[in-house]
């Protein structure tokens, strides 16, 4: 029962996030979608991930979005997409429909859920490669942001000197 | 031990290339020294590897079930070609210290050269066909980058693009062969094919054999693809020596030699190979006779000698072909480096403006003459022994017409060689040029090659042992000692080619008296200048490739929406196929 | 509703992926592109956890989902930094103006 509500909520909030005209409103709806996804993760029996997703998705990423939108200035661009919207929706619906058809036919989605106890030690002991991977991701991300941000500095300096 | 050596041979030049690029052209001397250091390290490792040649694979990187294992096998063929690639690579790099002195973009140059040396070694040392294709394409890329090194010269750029497109045709043939092998034997390892050619059904095997012949012909500039090599002479001379004389163009001959046990049973394959070799040798020798550009003559002569090697493979003697490859790499690199010294000092490639260079540059004159004698097949030098072995093998097949054409081409070789040497080094200067002395680095590079051209035939015993049973189990190359070779070559059938060579030399010396006959062949000169029509075919190929690329450019719009459209359409199409198929 | 639970979760995943792809397809604002990417990645995360649940390996699925969250956050961070810089340099967030390929 809960699942249906959460799933419907996810669909609704995602559509609202995408179709809203103002960027800040999109970011807020994205945060709500993250929260609902976190709820669904919790219901599926993965509470640690749910908590992390809630704080990162609904917290960190939303703050980032708000920050970026404020810096870059909010202009309500009413740009027309490259193809008419009904065509885009149609294409997406067809693709999703085919995937759903194949998934249902393969019978994976028929079995019942399993509830088991989670062992957090798996992440830290058996998957040390994952940890190394994540650390390198964060490192690269920091380097990337520094690189991107430093690329703009000299131009601003020149404008100041003129 | 072999594992470390193989890793050094392939990895050290690549590492050197990265280091040199990091310097960003700030320190010339550092780039020169790093390049020489890394090239020599690879050469030392290659020399050590010859003592460890075996048919066991030394490096096996498991790459999953799709790509098979990436294996490296230092067997005889591979080790010997690695030796040539790294040693001549080192000598070319040493030569470049003087030749590329003060040029811009040195980092790019050395990085390409070192990258190429590593890739060529990888190509011959691997036994996984997919990896062989990977290295093959890397050598094509480096060749393109180096031919168009002076990228503000439109001729160089055109030459580079032409070489790239035509050798890519070869690459397609190789890839198709690799995929066919995989389909029929679930593995990319060619040793499976060599051990038992019947793994692939005979019609597919014939298809495979002819695809590989096309690939080899495109890469080695054989008939009908022979026009890219002369146009590639826009490259700096050390590059012509390394890539277009001693290593990359040998990749085609290597391919044929490697797969010979698998394809020798295919009907008409050996005859086709021999025909390709003979046609290339003949046409290129005629074109060399009429060319006036110093490096073009050498390029045509390379095509012609490669034709000899291909002919030898077709005649059934892989040993003769590889031995001639060995001799040819040495003397052709010597000739190209010598020509490079002359061109660098005089400033033009046009032989009609040279003449009497020998007085100003005696060292270059003597080493060049040694190389020219080897090319012409004069006794004692290494070219003589290997060419005679090829002609013996050709004689033994019992196809007389082809044999006599090859003997005639030997005479033509002597003729154009002595013409080239005469026009450049002897006589009176035909124009106002200023020749300066060669630098030390050039001399250091030229001297070992000249010494090797005089003596490399002495190692025939260890050479055949290297290619023998222990390391190449499927090729059945018998060992031949020095005295054995002596007996085989110095025998009655050898005298005929020698006589033809002498005739060729005499033709030049008495050329004033023969001008009447020369006028008769005026139509031949016209044909040779137009490359017997093949230039048109190859240019057509190149322009077709370029115009289709221009046409397809509309699909790359750079707009996210179109790319996502592509993704979604592919999903729909694929899943429809799955739904129907299931 | 007697639909099996994985089916409903599957519907949620597909809807997230679908809406995400629609967003990538039909927007010309660079920041909206990042929103679309985030939606798709949430769908991927749900898929991992669902698959882990069905195979009784929830902890393994959690570690993978954690990696995905980290990667996705980094993508969002760098993407937004890029968007800010592009706004500075080009003055607009229009993806069509970004492309300088010859047409």
CB C27 within 8 A of CB C33: yes
* Inter-chain touch C70–A134, beta carbons under 8 Å: yes
Residue C37 is predicted with a pLDDT of: 93
Q: Which DSSP helix (H) or strand (E) runs through B72?
A: strand B69-72
Q: What is residue C84's predicted lDDT score, i.e. its pLDDT?
A: 87
Which range has the worst mean pLDDT, A34-48, B51-65, B96-110, B443-457?
A: B51-65
Confidence label for A109 from pLDDT (cuts 50, 70 and 90): low
Measured CA to CA in angstroms, residue B541 lies from B161, B217, B227, B575 at distances of 11, 15, 12, 37
3-state secondary structure at position B153: coil
pLDDT at residue number A156: 41
**Each residue of B56-65: b (16+ CB within 10 Å) or e?**
ebbbeeeeee
Cα separations in angstroms, B501 against A161, B278, B411: 78, 17, 4
**What subunits make at least 3 CB pairs under 8 angstroms with B?**
A, C
pLDDT of residue C44: 93
Q: How far apart are CA B375 and CA B314, in angstroms?
A: 21
What lies within 8 Å, CB to CB, of B112 at 6+ separation is B17, B142, B145, B146, B149
Contact B72, B58 (CB under 8 A): yes
The band of B578, judged by pLDDT with boundaries at 50, 70 and 90, is confident
Q: Tell how many helices (H) and how many strands (E) occur in chain A.
A: 8, 0
Residue A161 pLDDT class (50, 70, 90 cuts): very low
Nearest Cβ partner for B579 among A94, A95, A102: A102
Mean pLDDT for B430-450 is 83
Lowest model confidence (mean pLDDT) among A48-62, B165-179, B295-309, B507-521: B507-521
* φ, ψ for residue B189, nearest 5 deg: -80, 120
Closest CA to B420 of B497, B336, B324: B336
| A153 confidence band (pLDDT: 50, 70, 90) | very low
Q: Give Cα separations from A81 to A86, B365, B561, C95 (angstroms).
A: 11, 71, 8, 10
- Judged against a pLDDT cut of 60, whether residue A158 lies above it is answered with no
For residue B246, give both structure tokens: 């001693």
Instruction: Give the other-Cβ count within 10 Å of B52's Cβ.
Output: 15
Region B314-323: what's the mean pLDDT? 87
Q: How far is A54 from chain C (nearest CA, A)?
A: 11
Q: Do C80 and A68 touch (CB under 8 A)?
A: yes
Determine the pLDDT at residue A13. Answer: 93
* φ and ψ at residue A117, rounded to 5 degrees: -80, 145
Structural domain spans, chain B: 2-529, 545-581
Distance of CA B77 to the CA centre of its chain: 15
* Interstrand relation of B69-72 and B59-62 (parallel, antiparallel or unpaired): antiparallel
Residue B557: its chain C contacts at CB < 8 A? 99, 101, 103
pLDDT at residue C1, rounded to an integer: 53
**Can you state the percent helix, strand and coil of chain A, rounding each to 5?**
80, 0, 20
Which chain C positions have a beta carbon within 8 Å of A51's beta carbon? none
Nearest CA in chain A to C11: A7
Residue of chain B with shortest Cα separation from A99? B575
Tokens 């954690």 correspond to what residue? C66
Full pLDDT tens readout for chain C, 103 residues: 567 788 888 889 999 999 999 998 888 888 899 999 999 999 999 999 988 888 877 788 888 888 899 999 999 999 988 888 888 888 887 877 777 766 6
Task: Name which of A135-149, B8-22, B56-70, B119-133 the model is least confident about.
Answer: B56-70
State which residue of chain C sits closest to A141, comparing Cα positions.
C74
8 Å CB contact of C6 and A111: yes
- pLDDT at residue A160 greater than cutoff 60: no
Taking contacts as CB-CB distances below 8 angstroms, the residues of chain A near C41 are none
Question: Going by C-beta distance under 8 Å and a sequence separation of 6 or more, which residues neighbour residue B328?
Answer: B245, B302, B305, B306, B309, B383, B386
ipTM of the complex: 0.89
Whether residue A155 has pLDDT greater than 50: no
Q: Does B575 touch chain A (CB under 8 A)?
A: yes
Residues of A in contact with B578 (CB under 8 A): 102
> Cβ of B502: how many Cβ atoms within 10 Å?
13
Please tell me whether residue B396 adopts helix, strand or coil conformation: helix
Contact between B38 and B110 under an 8 Å Cβ cutoff? The reply is no
What would the 3-class secondary structure string for B99-111 be? HCCCCCCHHHHHH
**CA pair distance B541, A52, nearest whole angstrom:** 59
Interface contact flag, C67 A69, Cβ < 8 Å? no
CB within 8 Å: C56 and A141: no
Task: Band the pLDDT of B190: cuts 50, 70, 90.
Answer: confident
Dist CA A25 CA B227 (whole Å): 65
Confidence (pLDDT) at A77: 66
Instruction: Specify whether the CB–CB gap between B302 and B221 falls below 8 A.
Output: yes
Last residue of one domain, picked from the residues A74, A104, A138: A74
B578 and A CB contact within 8 Å? yes
A33-37: list long-range contacts, CB under 8 Å, 24+ apart: A33/C16, A33/C39, A33/C42, A34/A58, A34/A61, A34/A62, A34/C42, A36/A6, A36/A9, A36/A10, A37/A10, A37/C16, A37/C42, A37/C45, A37/C46
Half-sphere exposure of C3 (CA within 13 A, CB side): 15
Is the CB of A82 inside 8 Å of chain B's CB atoms? yes
pLDDT per position as a tens digit, B236-269 = 888 888 887 778 888 888 888 888 888 888 888 8
CB contact under 8 A, C66 and A108: no
Give how far B559 is from chain C: nearest CA, Å.
6
Range of the domain at A50: 1-74
Q: Where are the domains of chain C?
A: 5-92
Q: Average pLDDT, whole number, for chain B? A: 84
The 3-state DSSP class for residue B317 equals coil
Residue range B7-13: average pLDDT? 88
* B520 pLDDT more than 80: no
Contact between B500 and B388 under an 8 Å Cβ cutoff? The reply is no
- Total domains in chain A come to 2
Taking CB atoms and an 8 Å cutoff, what residues of chain C touch A111? 4, 6, 54
- Block residue for tokens 């499976």: B192
3-class DSSP state of A61: helix
Question: In this predicted structure, what is the pLDDT of residue B34?
Answer: 86
Please state the rounded mean pLDDT for residues B288-309: 89
**C24 touches B: beta carbon within 8 Å:** yes
Beta-carbon-side half-sphere exposure of residue B85 (alpha carbons within 13 Å):
33
Residue B255, CA atoms < 13 Å, CB-side half-sphere: 34
A52-56, A116-120, C21-25, C36-40: least confident range: A116-120
3-state secondary structure of B356: coil
In a domain, A41, yes or no: yes
Q: Give the Cα-Cα-Cα angle B426, B427, B429 (nearest 5 degrees).
A: 105
In contact, B537 and C1? CB cutoff 8 Å: no
What proportion of chain B, given as a percentage, has pLDDT over 90? 10
Per-residue pLDDT band for A124 (boundaries 50, 70, 90) equals low
For residue B475, which of B262, B308, B328, B314 has the smallest C-alpha distance?
B262
CB contact under 8 A, B578 and A91: no
Of B514, B366, B371, B505, nearest to B426 (Cα)? Answer: B366
- Residue B351 structure tokens: 């032989």
Give the span between the Cα atoms of B358 and B373, in whole angstroms: 16
Class of domain C5-92: mainly alpha
Cis peptide before B224 (omega within 30 of 0): yes
Q: Minimal CA–CA distance to B181: which of B189, B172, B173? A: B189
**CA–CA separation, C52 and B318 (whole Å):** 58
**Nearest Cβ partner of B561 from A83, A95, A98?**
A83
| B461-464, Cβ contacts within 8 angstroms, sequence gap of 24 or more | B463/B80, B463/B323, B463/B326, B464/B319
> In the prediction, which pLDDT does B351 show?
83
Say how many CA atoms lie within 13 Å of B99 toward its Cβ. 29
Closest residue in chain B to residue A98, using alpha carbons only: B575
- pLDDT at residue A31 is higher than 90: yes
Per-residue H/E/C for B128-148: EHHHHHHHHHHHHHHHHHHHC
Give φ, ψ of A44 to 5 degrees.
-80, 0
DSSP for chain C?
A: ----HHHHHHHHHHHHHHHHHHHHHH--BHHHHHHHHHHHHHHHHHHHHHHHHHTT-HHHHHHHHHHHHHHHHHHHHHHHHHHHHHHHHHS--BHHHH-----
Which among B557, B560, B567 is the nearest to C101, CB-wise?
B557
Residue found under tokens 């096309």: B214
Structure tokens at B13: 């030049």
- Return the residue of A nearest to C4 by Cα: A110
- Phi and psi angles of residue A82, each rounded to the nearest 5 degrees, phi first: -70, -20
Of B325, B177, B301, residue with least CA distance to B240? B301
Q: Please list, in sequence order, all residues whose beta carbon lies within 8 angstroms of the beta carbon of residue B229, skipping any fewer than 6 positions away.
A: B163, B221, B244, B249, B299, B300, B302, B303
Of B41, B165, B291, the C-alpha closest to B546 is B165
Phi, psi of B422 (to 5 degrees): -65, -45
Structure tokens at B244: 């277009």
* A15 found inside a domain: yes
End-to-end CA distance of chain B: 52
Q: Do B561 and C25 touch (CB under 8 A)?
A: yes
* C35 contacts chain B (CB < 8 A): no
Cα separation, B465 vs B488, whole angstroms: 18
Give the highest mean pLDDT range of A108-117, B201-210, B483-492, B494-503. B201-210
Instruction: Give the C-alpha separation, B460 to B449, whole Å.
Output: 17
What is residue C43's predicted lDDT score, i.e. its pLDDT?
Answer: 93
pLDDT of residue A148: 75
Structure tokens at A121: 């030690």
3-class DSSP state of B293: strand
Mutation for A interface: C70, C89, C97, C103, most A CBs within 10 A: C70
For residue range A68-92, list pLDDT tens digits in order.
Answer: 888 887 666 667 777 788 888 888 9
The answer to whether B565 faces chain A, any CB pair under 8 Å, is: yes
């Amino acid at each position: 029962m809960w699942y249906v509500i959460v799933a419907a909520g996810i669909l609704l909030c995602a559509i609202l996030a995408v179709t809203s005209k103002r960027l800040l409103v999109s970011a807020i709806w994205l945060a709500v979608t993250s929260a609902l996804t976190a709820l669904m993760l919790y219901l599926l029996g993965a509470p640690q991930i749910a908590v992390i997703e809630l704080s990162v998705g609904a917290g960190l990423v939303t703050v980032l979005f708000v920050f970026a939108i404020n810096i870059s200035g909010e202009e309500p661009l009413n740009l027309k997409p490259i193809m008419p919207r009904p065509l885009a929706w149609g294409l997406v619906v067809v693709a999703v429909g085919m995937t759903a058809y194949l998934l249902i036919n393969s019978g994976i989605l028929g079995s019942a859920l399993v509830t088991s106890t989670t062992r957090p030690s798996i992440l830290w002991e058996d998957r040390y490669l994952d940890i190394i991977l994540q650390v390198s991701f964060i490192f690269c991300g920091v380097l990337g942001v520094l690189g991107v941000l430093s690329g703009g500095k000299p131009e601003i300096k020149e404008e100041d000197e003129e | 031990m072999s594992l470390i050596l193989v890793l050094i041979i392939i990895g050290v030049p690549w590492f050197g290339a990265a280091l040199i690029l990091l310097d960003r052209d700030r320190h010339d001397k550092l780039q020169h020294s790093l390049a020489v250091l890394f090239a020599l390290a690879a050469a030392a490792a290659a020399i050590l590897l010859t003592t460890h040649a075996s048919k066991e694979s030394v490096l096996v990187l498991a790459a999953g079930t799709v790509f098979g294992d990436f294996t490296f096998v230092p067997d005889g063929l591979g080790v010997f070609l690695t030796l040539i690639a790294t040693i001549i690579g080192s000598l070319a790099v040493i030569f470049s210290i003087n030749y590329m002195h003060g040029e811009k973009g040195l980092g790019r140059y050395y990085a390409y050269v070192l990258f190429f040396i590593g890739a060529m070694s990888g190509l011959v040392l691997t036994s996984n066909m997919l990896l062989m294709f990977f290295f093959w394409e890397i050598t094509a890329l480096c060749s393109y980058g180096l031919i168009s090194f002076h990228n503000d010269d439109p001729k160089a750029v055109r030459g580079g693009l032409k070489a790239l497109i035509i050798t890519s045709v070869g690459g397609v043939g190789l890839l198709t062969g690799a995929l066919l092998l995989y389909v029929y034997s679930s593995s990319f390892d060619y040793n499976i094919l060599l051990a038992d050619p019947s793994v692939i059904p005979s019609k597919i095997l014939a298809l495979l054999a002819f695809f590989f012949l096309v690939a080899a012909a495109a890469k080695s500039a054989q008939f009908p693809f022979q026009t890219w090599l002369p146009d590639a002479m826009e490259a700096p001379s050390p590059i012509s020596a390394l890539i277009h004389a001693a290593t990359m163009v040998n990749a085609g001959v290597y391919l044929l030699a490697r797969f010979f046990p698998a394809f020798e049973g295919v009907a008409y394959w050996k005859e086709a190979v021999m025909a390709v070799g003979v046609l290339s040798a003949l046409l290129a020798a005629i074109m060399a006779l009429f060319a006036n550009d110093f490096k073009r003559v050498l390029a045509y002569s390379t095509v012609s000698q490669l034709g000899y090697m291909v002919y030898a493979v077709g005649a059934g003697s892989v040993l003769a072909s590889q031995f001639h490859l060995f001799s040819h790499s040495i003397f052709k690199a010597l000739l190209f480096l010598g020509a490079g010294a002359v061109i660098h000092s005089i400033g033009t490639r046009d032989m009609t403006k040279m003449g009497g260079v020998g007085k100003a540059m005696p060292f270059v004159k003597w080493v060049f003459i040694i190389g020219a004698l080897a090319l012409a097949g004069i006794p004692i030098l290494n070219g003589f022994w290997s060419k005679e072995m090829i002609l013996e093998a050709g004689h033994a097949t019992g196809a007389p017409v082809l044999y006599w054409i090859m003997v005639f081409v030997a005479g033509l070789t002597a003729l154009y060689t002595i013409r080239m040497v005469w026009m450049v080094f002897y006589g009176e200067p035909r124009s106002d040029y200023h020749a300066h002395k060669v630098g030390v680095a050039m001399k250091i590079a030229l001297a070992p090659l000249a010494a090797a051209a005089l003596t490399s035939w002495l190692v025939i015993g260890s050479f055949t042992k290297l290619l023998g049973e222990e390391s190449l189990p499927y090729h059945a190359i018998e060992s031949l000692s020095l005295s054995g070779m002596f007996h085989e070559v110095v025998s009655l059938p050898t005298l005929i080619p020698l006589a033809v060579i002498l005739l060729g030399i005499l033709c030049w010396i008495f050329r004033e008296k023969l001008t009447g006959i020369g006028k008769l062949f005026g139509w031949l000169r016209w044909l040779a200048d137009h490359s017997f029509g093949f230039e048109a075919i190859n240019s057509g190929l190149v322009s077709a490739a370029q115009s289709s690329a221009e046409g397809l450019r509309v699909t790359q719009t750079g707009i996210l929406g179109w790319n996502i459209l592509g993704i979604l359409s592919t999903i729909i199409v694929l899943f429809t196929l799955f739904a129907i198929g299931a | 509703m007697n639909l099996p639970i994985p089916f409903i979760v599957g519907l949620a995943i597909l809807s997230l992926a679908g809406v995400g792809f629609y967003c990538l397809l039909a927007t010309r604002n660079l920041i909206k592109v990042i929103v679309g990417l985030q939606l798709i990645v949430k769908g991927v995360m749900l898929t991992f956890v669902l698959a882990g649940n069905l195979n009784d390996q929830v902890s393994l699925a959690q570690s993978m989902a954690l990696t995905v969250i980290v990667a996705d956050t980094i993508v969002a961070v760098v993407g937004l930094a890029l968007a800010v810089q592009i706004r500075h340099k080009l003055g607009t967030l229009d993806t069509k103006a970004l492309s300088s390929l010859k047409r």
